[in-house]
Amino acid sequence: MAAIRVVKPGLLTTIQDRGRTGYGHLGVPQGGALDGYAMRWAQRLAGCAEVDAVLEITLLGPTLEVLGDTYAGLAGADLGALVNGEAWPAGTGRNLRSKDVISFTGPKEGLRAYLAFAGGVSGDLVLGSRATDIQSRVGGLAGRALRANDELEVGEGAGSPVQAPVPTLCGGERVRILPGPRHDQFPEDALPTLTATRYRVTTQSDRVGMRLEGLPVPNAAGSTISEGVPIGAIEIPPSAQPIVLLHGRGTIGGYPVIATAITADLPVLAQLRPGDALRFELVGAQEARLALEDLCGVFALPFLPAIAGESRK
Amino acid sequence: MSPVRICARAKTPWRRALPAGDAAVLLEFGDRIAEDVNEEVQRFARTLFKAEIPGIRGIVPSYASLLVEYDPFAWAYETLLEMLASLPLTKGEGPQRRRHVIPVLYGGDAGPDLEEAAQALGLPPAELAKRHADRDYRIYCLGFSPGFPLCGVLPEELRLPRRATPRTKVPPGSVAIAGMQTGIYPLESAGGWHLIGRTPLRLFRWDQPDPVPFQPGDTLRFRVVTKEEYRTLEERVASGDTILETSASPEEAAHGGDPRR
C-alpha cells in the first residue's frame, strides 16, 4: 500500500467519486465530482475503476508527499501542477516514487483539477459512496476538506507514462440549456432574457450551486410548491438573478426552474471561476443528446504515447 | 415553440410529464398541497421502488410531483415514459402508517425565532408553541436536506413567510415553520425557516441502512417539554437510546382525511 501525506491542503481539496445515488427520496444529495468528465479522465489515466475515489482540487492546489511507489493521473483544470518542481501537465498519467512531492504553482486555466491514483484514494464509505459532503460532514475524510498532515491510502502501481488523446478540460463560456420543467410559468420574455446576454459567476458559488449576476430574469407568476430539482437546474429566486444547481444541491427546491443545463455542459459549469462570464444557449433535446454522445465518445479513443518531460529516477 | 411535451394519453398515473433536462423528468400529479395528491405521488414512488428499474438514479417524491433522474445512456425520454406508464401500480396503502411523537423545547436558545414569530402572528410565544404542538401533521416528503420531513399543513394563524435572510447555520434538531409547512432540520445546514424549538432526537443516521426513522404518509406530533426533560432526553440520546415514541396509526391510514381538522 502506498500513501499520500498532505503537506499543505490548498484552498479546497476533497475526496470525491461519482456520488450517492439512490437516496434522493430521503433527501440525500448526490454530490460527488462536479466535473465527471475530467474525473473519468483522471481515473482512466491512473488505471482506476469508475467507482474509485479521487481528489478534487479547487483553484489553489495542495502540496502532497508521496509515500511509496504509485501511479497517478491528472485531468481537468491546469492549476500549475509540479512533481519535484517539474511541470506535470493535466491530461497525463505517470509514475510517482516514494518521497516525490506534488505541488501547484497557481491556476492557469479552469477551476477544478482531478488527481487519481492507482487503486483509488481511501475514504469513508457512506451510503455507497466515498464522496465528501461538506454540508452534511460525511464521506471522504471525516466529511471535511483535507488538512495538513492528513494521510490517505492509495494503491501501488507502476507503468509507462500516458497522455489523453483529447483535452481533459471542458473550457469556454457556452452553456447549453433546455427549457426547464416550469418554463411555462414564466413570462414569455424570460427565456429570451436568460439567453440574451452574458452572466457573471459570483463569489457566492460553491459545490451546491452557482449564483450568477446579470440581466434580471422576469419571475414566474404565482407561487410554486416545493418539488424535486435536477442537477443543472437553473432557478430564478425573487432576486431575479439565476442560480445554477450543481451536484451538491438539495433534492427539493422551492424556486421555479426555468431551464436546465444539458448534462454534456455540466463540466463547463464546474470549471468556471467566480468572476468568469458564461453565456446560455437554448438547444433542443436532440442536440443535448448528440453533445453527450460526443463528450463520452472520446473515452473510446486510445491513449497517446508517452510525452517528453517526465523525470525518471 | 412548445418544448414541454405533455403526456396526453388517457391512462398515465401522472397528470403531466415535464422534461427536467436530458437526465430527469418531473411527473406532476397535481398542483396543490393535499393528502390525496400526495398519496398518488407516494403510491407511484412505491411502484418505482418495487420495479427496481436499471438506469434510474434517483426518485424524489415531493408534495405533488415526483422527479425521476435517469441515465440518459440507458433511457431515451419517450421510451422511459412509456415504460413508466406501463408499470402496474402498487396496490394498497403501502407500509403501515405510523405516528411519531417529537419532544420539543420551544423558545429560548432552542427556538431563537419563537418570540419574533409570535409577535408577527400576534400571539404570546407560549400560545404559538401550544398551537404548534397541539395537532397532527402529515409527513408529505423527505428532502431539501437529508431526512428533513416536510410536514403540513400549518393552521392559518401560524403561517409566516420565510425569514428575509436565511441562516447559514441551523443547529441539528431545530423545529421550524414557514408558510403552510413545518419540519425538523435533522442535521446542521443552512435554512430560511423560523426556528421555534429544538428536539434532542437524532433523526438521521448515516450508518444505518434505513437512515430516517419515518416515511412520507406518517404522522408527526410535537410535544412540549421542559428544559429539564430536554436535558434528560439529550443524555439518553447521547447514551445511544432511541427515544422516538412511535405507534401505529391505523385511523390515519384508513382515513386519509384532512390534516387541518
Domain B98-255 carries which CATH code?
A: 2.40.100.10
Cβ-nearest to B145 among A30, A232, A250: A250
Residue of chain A nearest B143, judged by CA positions: A27
* Residue A201 to chain B, least CA–CA distance (Å): 20
What is the radius of gyration, based on Cα positions, of chain B? 20
Smallest CA–CA distance, residue A17 to chain B, in Å, is 15
Picking from B109, B74, B255, B134, the residue whose alpha carbon sits closest to that of residue B195 is: B109
B254, pLDDT greater than 60: no
Confidence (pLDDT) at A221: 79
Cα angle value B53/B213/B112 (rounded, 5°) = 120
pLDDT at B1 exceeding the cut of 50: no
Task: Indicate the pLDDT class of residue B260, thresholds 50, 70 and 90.
Answer: very low
In the prediction, which pLDDT does B255 show?
Answer: 43
A3 touching B, CB under 8 A? no
To the nearest whole Å, the CA of A308 is away from the closest chain B CA by 37
Question: Mean per-residue pLDDT for A253-258?
Answer: 91
CB contact under 8 A, B26 and A136: no
What are the tens digits of pLDDT across the range A90-104? 999 999 999 999 999
Shortest Cα–Cα distance, A152 to chain B (Å)? 22
Take residue A177 and report the three cell numbers written for it.
440549456
Least confident of A44-58, A181-195, B71-85, B236-250: B236-250
C-alpha cell at B23: 437526465
Residues shown for chain A: 313
Q: Residue A307 — pLDDT band, cuts 50, 70, 90?
A: low
* Average pLDDT score over residue span A227-248: 95
Write out pLDDT tens, residues A162-194.
Answer: 999 999 999 999 999 999 999 999 999 999 999
Range 232-291 of A in CB contact (< 8 A) with B: 232-233, 250-253, 257, 260-263, 284-285, 288-289
A290 has pLDDT over 50: yes
User: Which of chain B's residues have a Cβ under 8 Å away from the Cβ of A296?
Assistant: 73
pLDDT of residue A254: 84
Share of chain B above pLDDT 90, in %: 77
Q: Which of A226, A258, A262 to mutate to test the interface with B (most CBs of B within 10 A)?
A: A226
Average pLDDT, stretch B172-201? 95
CA distances from A270 to A173, A210, A231, A244, A293 (A): 11, 9, 12, 11, 19
> Quick one: pLDDT at residue A87?
97
Where does the pLDDT of residue B163 fall: very low under 50, low under 70, confident under 90, or very high at 90 and above? confident
Of A234, A311, A299, A223, nearest to A45 (Cα)?
A299
Chain B environment of A257 (Cβ under 8 Å): 20
Q: What is the pLDDT of residue A5?
A: 98
Is there a contact between A253 and A142 (Cβ–Cβ < 8 Å)? no
Q: Decide if B230 contacts B215 (C-beta within 8 A).
A: no
**Nearest residue in chain B measured CA to CA from A288:** B22
Spatial distance between the Cα atoms of A284 and A128, rounded to a whole number of angstroms = 34
Task: Quote the mean pLDDT of chain B.
Answer: 90
Q: Do A25 and B60 touch (CB under 8 A)?
A: yes
* 3-state SS, residue A119: coil
- Chain A closest CA to B129's CA: distance in Å? 25
At A279, give phi and psi (nearest 5°).
Answer: -130, 125
Q: What is the number of other CB atoms lying within 10 angstroms of the CB of residue A183?
A: 24
Window A:51-90, CB contacts with B under 8 Å: none
Specify the domain boundaries for CATH 3.30.1360.40 within chain B. Answer: 16-86
In angstroms, the Cα distances linking B70 to A31, A228, B66 are 16, 13, 13
Quick one: average pLDDT of B160-176? 91
Q: What band does B162 get if pLDDT is binned at 50, 70 and 90?
A: confident
Residue that wins the pLDDT comparison between A70 and A221: A70
What mean pLDDT is predicted for residues B69-84? 96
Q: Report CA-CA distances (Å) from A66 to A129, A313, B64.
A: 24, 14, 52
For A14-57, the DSSP string reads EEE-S---S-GGGT----S-S-HHHHHHHHHHHT--TT--EEEE
Reduced to 3 states, what is the DSSP secondary structure of residue A83? Answer: strand
H helical segments located in chain B: 35-51, 77-86, 114-121, 125-133, 227-238, 250-255
CATH number for region B16-86:
3.30.1360.40
Q: What distance in Å separates residue B211's CA from the closest CA in chain A? A: 8
Is the CB of residue B231 less than 8 Å from the CB of residue B149?
A: no
Q: Residue B213: which region, alpha, beta or left (left: phi > 0; alpha: psi -120 to 50)?
A: alpha
Are A61 and A80 in contact by the 8 Å Cβ rule? The answer is yes
Q: What residues does each domain of chain A span? A: 2-169, 174-282
More confident residue, A217 or B162: A217
Q: Strand A54-58's sheet: what is its strand order?
A: A12-16, A54-58, A109-117, A70-78, A92-96, A162-163
Query: ω into residue B60 within 30 of 0, thus cis?
Result: no
**Is a pLDDT exceeding 60 seen at residue B10?**
no
Residues of chain B in contact with residue A251, where contact means CB-CB under 8 angstroms, are 58, 60, 67, 143-144
CB A32 within 8 A of CB A20: yes
Q: Which residues of A touch B206 (CB under 8 A)?
A: 126-127, 136, 138
Which residue, among A252, A255, A286, would best test binding to B if mutated, counting the most B CBs under 10 Å from its CB? A252
pLDDT at B168: 85
Of A184, A228, A289, the CB nearest to B62: A228
What per-residue confidence (pLDDT) applies to B5? 54
Q: Class assignment of domain A174-282? A: mainly beta
pLDDT exceeds cutoff 90 at A283:
yes
Among candidates A26, A138, A179 on the partner chain, residue whose Cβ is nearest the Cβ of B4: A179
Q: B112 with B197: CB under 8 angstroms?
A: no
Determine, for residues A178 and B26 on separate chains, whether the beta-carbon distance falls below 8 Å: no
Give the N- to C-terminal CA distance of chain A in Å, as an integer.
Answer: 20
A257/B142 Cα distance (integer angstroms) = 20
Determine the average pLDDT of the residues in B246-258.
55
Distance to chain B for A110, nearest Cα, Å: 25
Which residues from chain B sit within 8 angstroms of residue A228, using beta carbons?
20, 24, 26, 60-62, 65-67, 143
Q: How confident is the model at residue B243 (pLDDT cuts 50, 70, 90)?
A: confident
- In sequence order, the 6+-apart residues with CB closer than 8 A to the CB of A62 are A6, A7, A8, A9, A10, A13, A55, A102, A103, A104, A146
Tell me the average pLDDT across A142-158: 97
Residues of chain B with CATH 2.40.100.10: 98-255
User: Which of A182-186, A239-243, B5-9, B10-14 comes out lowest in average pLDDT?
Assistant: B5-9
The average pLDDT across B213-240 equals 94
Asked if the model's pLDDT at residue B190 lies above 50, the reply is yes
Which residues lie across from B61 on neighbouring strands? B66
Residue A205, phi then psi, degrees to nearest 5: -130, 140
pLDDT, residue B251, reads: 54
Residue pairs spanning A and B at CB distance below 8 A? 156
Q: What is the DSSP string of B120-170?
A: HHTS-HHHHHHHHHSSEEEEEEE-SSTT-EEEE---GGG--PPPSS-EEEE
